């Protein structure tokens, strides 16, 4: 790697040194930067050609340099002759101005070491292209080494030389005197130009119709650079020391032969015996063998044979040569027309540019890019011609690589992007937008191309807006997402809302529908769908466009509309649009089809969600039910040895009223409570007194006032039990998700821990706490019914069996009253039994508003919520106008309700209507 770098460094250093030594001190370097050595040309290929730029304008040029070291081997007078000859040729070229002559940008400058002058940019000399690489850099540049002339380039090049000779012969009455490949230069665009006027001869009588030229005698002793190239000279120049315009035509014939024969002239000349060689050549020309011209195209072979004639009068003149059929090639004519465009008016130019797209595909790419393209882009300064030129430029761009497009075309297109007049420019760009976005670099797209699209969307012309909206979807995939989201979409929406044209509005919707796939889901939901509701018009086409966007968004696998948006926004909007009077039957059916699809998907998704939620709830509930004892164990206090008695031991040791009591109704596992002897005695007295009170008034409504722990012995048994429980146990936490009752109990209606409440009719109704777990889980056959874990009322019927003797006496107290009160042998009286009986088969219209009856084995395990969130047990707890005679307990709160239903009075119906509306 290091050796390669060193080699490269030495090569660069050598080239720099050559340039420095060749041009150093020359006045040309004051105004021009001299670059690398690219070619050679002129008499004997003595001029080295460098590329260069003008310092002030950065204009590209070619710098011709003659290094005086090349002639060090000559004597001083010979050096002077060579220098004078070279100077004369450049000075003559500088004075002549014609498109077929090499254009001089800076005249000849001489320094101690070199001669130098500047011309238009140059590629190489024809001699270099044909394989003569003298005075070229080493290694030979690959672009020259691999250069091959196309037929159209050869034809048009020879035509250009013929036109140049015609100018010299007819225009300035001059004979070139040394026309050869060395003095034919191919400029950077490929045009063939004449130089090397070192041996040119002007007419002695330029005003006469028949000019006369004085020819110098051939002097073999002069240095070769002081003599013309003898292989391209006409025989009369040497043999009879005469010349005229026909002598140049002979040279043209030899040049044509060399072009088609790999740079070889017709005859090889012995420069040491030039006269003998020309005599022999004269004989060969008189009887030319057909093999000599075998490689020349047949259509021009006869003309070349005439040019090589010994007799000057037989040779065609330059003007005649420009008109031969050989040059009537489409490509050659096209190139010729470009060279004469400056002479044409706008009408002629426009006609030519209209037909040019048919010709461009027939021409070689190199010719099109380097010859035609510069001529086309030069017309961009004429706004009236841009609509005719631009399609051809974009057609050429399609055949160029991205690098060629950026280097050769984009710099000239950038100013055109900003032109708004004539309007056809914008139309042409829009039609080729895919090409521009594909080959233009991202920064230029953002700065030049997309702003042009934005201007088109905001243009006052409806036709421009329509075309732009139609074309945008074709290149939407090439637009970067931020530009589309922040600049393009807002302008499309603005065009849709602000326009007064139905076509623009509809095309805006169609455009949005086509580019939805390039947007993300949430941008469409947040920006596009709400925009549809802002569109003011209700024409069928607009409505169908709105429907199309909804349908595309709904059905697209990448997008989709969430069910929440469907339910709250999309469906209401579509339903309102579907009944518009402007829609016909087919359009209405289209709306309904989309609406049904949306409803179906919304139903399916939401049903699936609810089913999954239900399964999760069931799993959670089964986990809570499967291990209630563990929850109780976690919440209880640590046992205190010797002074705690478990409630199970006191009340029979079972959570279910045993079969001996004749009931199988399950109850909650009571919490563990320690009772002292005094508390047990007081409890027995309170139960006895409560039994006596109930026996005195068995059916009259009464209210037992809650007593304090120290004064009132008529307090509720369950209230006392609650106070005992609260003193020793922790209240179990409610299941997460429970809600409080909408109608909280007041006064003595419900105990604080789910204890029984006396309502005057059924002392052992066993209401549970109404504020726990309302309506969040459906009540099942289990003990808890999906509600919070609460302490159910214990069965005191087992008290006579399990309560042991404590204190100072072993005689068991008389508990017969408690047996008659709490054992389940005596059936409980419910409100249904007190109320009027309904005839069999009748039902109340309000029963359907409540939950179905629970398992008859459960006692008020929860208060379900009826319509509107009102608790099922509202009648007693919340109705201030409660009357036992006309109240019917809801099904969800009365496990002993008659399944056949209850006949309600009119007052009950009125109360329910007041509550439920």
Domain boundary assignment for the chain: 7-327, 332-540, 541-614
Cβ partners under 8 Å of residue 256, min gap 6: 158, 296, 300, 304, 307
Between CA 419 and CA 867 the distance in angstroms is: 71
What is the structure's pLDDT at 123?
Answer: 93
- 93-107, 144-158, 680-694, 697-711: least confidently modelled range: 697-711
What is the structure's pLDDT at 630?
Answer: 53
Between CA 679 and CA 667 the distance in angstroms is: 24
What is the structure's pLDDT at 709?
Answer: 39
For 259-288, the pLDDT digits (tens) are 999 888 988 887 777 888 888 888 888 888
Q: Rounded to two decimals, what is the model's pTM?
A: 0.58
What is the structure's pLDDT at 338?
Answer: 85
Interhelix angle for 346-359 vs 386-399, to 10°? 20
pLDDT at residue 738 is higher than 70: no
pLDDT at residue 766 is higher than 70: no
Residues above pLDDT 90, as percent of the chain: 21
Residues above pLDDT 70, as percent of the chain: 68
CATH class of segment(s) 332-540:
mainly alpha
Q: Phi/psi zone of residue 869: left (φ > 0), alpha (ψ -120 to 50 degrees), beta?
A: left
pLDDT at residue 101 is higher than 90: yes
Q: Which residue has the tokens 């304008």?
A: 57
Burial class of residue 65 in the structure, from the number of CB atoms within 10 Å of its CB (0-12 exposed, 13-18 middle, 19+ buried): buried
Q: Are 720 and 756 a contacting pair, CB within 8 Å?
A: no
pLDDT band at 628 (very low <50, low <70, confident <90, very high): low
Between CA 232 and CA 225 the distance in angstroms is: 15
For 287-308, the pLDDT digits (tens) are 888 888 889 999 999 999 999 9
Is 7-327's fold the same as 332-540's?
no
What is the structure's pLDDT at 39?
Answer: 94
For 538-556, the pLDDT digits (tens) are 888 888 888 888 888 888 7
What is the structure's pLDDT at 635?
Answer: 53
Q: Are 49 and 63 a contacting pair, CB within 8 Å?
A: yes
Higher pLDDT, 739 or 281: 281
Residue 87 to residues 24, 80, 220, 414, 653: CA-CA distances in angstroms? 19, 10, 21, 43, 136
Higher pLDDT, 687 or 124: 124
pLDDT band at 232 (very low <50, low <70, confident <90, very high): very high
From the CA atom positions of the chain, what is the Rg in Å? 57
Level-2 CATH architecture, domain 7-327: Orthogonal Bundle (1.10)
pLDDT band at 507 (very low <50, low <70, confident <90, very high): confident
For 418-456, the pLDDT digits (tens) are 887 777 888 888 888 888 888 888 888 888 888 888 888
Higher pLDDT, 671 or 490: 490
Sheet containing 60-67: which strands, arranged edge to edge? 32-41, 47-54, 60-67, 114-119, 104-110
What is the structure's pLDDT at 710?
Answer: 38
Q: Are 389 and 416 a contacting pair, CB within 8 Å?
A: no
Average pLDDT, the chain: 73
Residue 52 to residues 91, 121, 319: CA-CA distances in angstroms? 21, 8, 36
pLDDT at residue 632 is higher than 60: no
pLDDT band at 22 (very low <50, low <70, confident <90, very high): low
The 8 Å CB, 24+ separation contacts for 349-353 are 349/379, 349/385, 349/388, 350/385, 350/388, 353/385, 353/388, 353/389, 353/392
Q: Are 118 and 104 a contacting pair, CB within 8 Å?
A: yes
Nearest to 257 by CA among 211, 299, 305: 305
pLDDT at residue 414 is higher than 80: yes
Between CA 912 and CA 906 the distance in angstroms is: 10
Give residue 87's Cα distance to chain centre: 64
pLDDT band at 380 (very low <50, low <70, confident <90, very high): confident
What is the structure's pLDDT at 788?
Answer: 40
pLDDT at residue 165 is higher than 90: yes
Query: What are 187's strand-pairing partners?
Result: 122
For 50-62, the pLDDT digits (tens) are 999 999 998 999 9
- 146-160, 438-452, 855-869: least confidently modelled range: 855-869
């Amino acid at each position: 790697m290091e050796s390669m770098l060193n080699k490269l460094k030495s090569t660069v250093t050598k080239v720099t040194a050559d340039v420095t030594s060749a041009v150093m001190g020359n006045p040309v370097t004051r105004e021009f930067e001299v670059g690398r050595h690219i070619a050679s040309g002129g008499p004997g290929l003595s001029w080295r050609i460098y590329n260069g730029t003008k310092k002030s304008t950065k204009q590209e040029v070619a710098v011709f340099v003659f290094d005086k070291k090349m002639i060090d081997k000559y004597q001083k007078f010979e050096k002077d002759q060579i220098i004078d000859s070279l100077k004369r040729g450049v000075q003559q070229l500088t004075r002549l101005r014609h498109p077929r002559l090499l254009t001089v940008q800076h005249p000849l400058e001489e320094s101690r070491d070199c001669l130098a002058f500047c011309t238009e940019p140059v590629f190489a000399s024809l001699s270099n292209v044909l394989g003569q690489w003298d005075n070229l850099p080493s290694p030979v540049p690959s672009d020259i080494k691999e250069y091959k002339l196309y037929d159209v380039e050869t034809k048009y090049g020879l035509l250009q030389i013929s036109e140049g000779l015609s100018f010299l012969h007819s225009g300035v009455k001059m004979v070139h005197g040394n026309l050869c490949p060395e003095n034919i230069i191919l400029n950077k665009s490929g045009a063939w130009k004449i130089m090397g006027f070192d041996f040119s001869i002007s007419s002695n009588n330029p005003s006469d119709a028949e000019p006369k030229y004085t020819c110098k005698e051939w002097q073999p002793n002069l240095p070769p650079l002081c003599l013309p190239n003898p292989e391209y000279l006409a025989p009369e120049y040497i043999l009879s020391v005469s010349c005229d315009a026909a002598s140049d035509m002979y040279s043209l014939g030899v040049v044509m032969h060399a072009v088609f024969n790999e740079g070889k002239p017709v005859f090889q000349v012995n420069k040491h015996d030039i006269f003998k060689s020309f005599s022999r050549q004269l004989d060969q020309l008189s009887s030319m063998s057909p093999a000599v011209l075998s490689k020349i195209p047949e259509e021009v072979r006869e003309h070349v044979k005439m040019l090589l004639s010994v007799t000057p009068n037989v040779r065609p003149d330059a003007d005649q040569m420009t008109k031969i059929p050989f040059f009537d090639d489409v490509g050659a004519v096209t190139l010729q027309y470009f060279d004469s465009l400056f002479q044409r008016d706008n009408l002629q130019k426009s006609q030519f540019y209209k037909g040019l797209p048919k010709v461009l595909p027939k021409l070689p790419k190199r010719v099109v890019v380097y010859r035609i393209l510069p001529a086309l882009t030069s017309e961009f300064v004429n706004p009236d011609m841009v609509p005719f030129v631009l399609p051809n430029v974009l057609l050429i761009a399609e055949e160029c690589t991205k690098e060629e497009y950026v280097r050769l075309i984009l710099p000239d297109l950038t100013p055109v992007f900003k032109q708004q007049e004539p309007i056809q420019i914008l139309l042409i760009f829009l039609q080729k937008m895919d090409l521009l976005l594909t080959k233009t670099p991202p920064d230029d797209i953002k700065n030049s191309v997309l702003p042009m699209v934005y201007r088109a969307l905001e243009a006052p012309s409806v036709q421009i807006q329509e075309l732009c909206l139609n074309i945008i979807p074709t290149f939407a995939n090439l637009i970067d997402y931020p530009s589309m989201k922040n600049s393009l979409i807002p302008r499309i929406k603005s065009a849709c809302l602000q326009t007064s044209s139905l076509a623009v509005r509809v095309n805006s919707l169609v455009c949005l529908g086509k580019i939805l796939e390039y947007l993300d889901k949430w941008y469409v939901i947040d920006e596009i769908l709400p925009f549809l509701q802002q569109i003011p018009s209700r024409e069928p086409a607009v409505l169908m466009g709105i429907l199309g966007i909804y349908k595309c968004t709904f059905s697209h696998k990448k997008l989709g509309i969430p069910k929440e948006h469907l339910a709250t926004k999309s469906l209401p909007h579509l339903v309102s649009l579907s009944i518009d009077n402007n829609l016909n039957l087919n359009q209405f059916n289209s709306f309904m089809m989309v609406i049904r699809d949306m409803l179906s998907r919304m139903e399916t998704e939401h049903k699936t969600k609810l089913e999954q939620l239900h399964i999760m709830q069931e799993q959670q509930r089964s986990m809570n039910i499967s291990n209630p004892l563990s929850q109780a164990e976690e919440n209880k206090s640590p046992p205190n040895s010797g002074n705690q008695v478990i409630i199970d031991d006191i009340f029979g040791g079972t959570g279910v009223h045993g079969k001996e009591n004749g009931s199988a109704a399950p109850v909650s596992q009571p919490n563990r409570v320690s009772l002292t002897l005094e508390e047990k005695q007081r409890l027995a007295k309170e139960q006895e007194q409560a039994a006596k009170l109930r026996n005195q008034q068995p059916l009259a409504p009464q209210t037992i006032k809650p007593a304090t722990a120290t004064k009132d012995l008529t307090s509720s048994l369950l209230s006392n039990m609650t106070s005992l429980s609260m003193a020793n146990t922790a209240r179990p936490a409610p299941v997460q998700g429970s809600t409080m009752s909408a109608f909280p109990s007041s006064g003595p209606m419900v105990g604080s821990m789910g204890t029984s409440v006396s309502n005057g009719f059924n002392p052992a109704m066993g209401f549970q706490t109404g504020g726990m777990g309302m309506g969040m889980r459906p009540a099942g056959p289990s003990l808890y019914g999906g509600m919070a874990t609460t302490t159910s009322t214990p069965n005191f019927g087992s008290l006579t069996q399990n309560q042991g003797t404590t204190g100072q006496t072993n005689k068991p107290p008389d508990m017969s009253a408690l047996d008659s009160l709490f054992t389940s042998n005596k059936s409980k009286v419910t409100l249904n039994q007190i109320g009027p009986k309904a005839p069999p088969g009748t039902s109340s219209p309000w029963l359907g508003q409540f939950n179905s009856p629970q398992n008859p084995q459960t006692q008020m395990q929860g208060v379900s919520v009826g319509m509107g969130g009102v608790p099922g047990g509202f009648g007693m707890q919340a109705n201030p106008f409660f009357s036992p005679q006309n109240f019917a307990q809801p099904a969800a709160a009365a496990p002993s309700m008659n399944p056949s239903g209850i006949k309600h009075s009119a007052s009950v119906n009125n109360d329910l209507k007041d509550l439920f509306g």
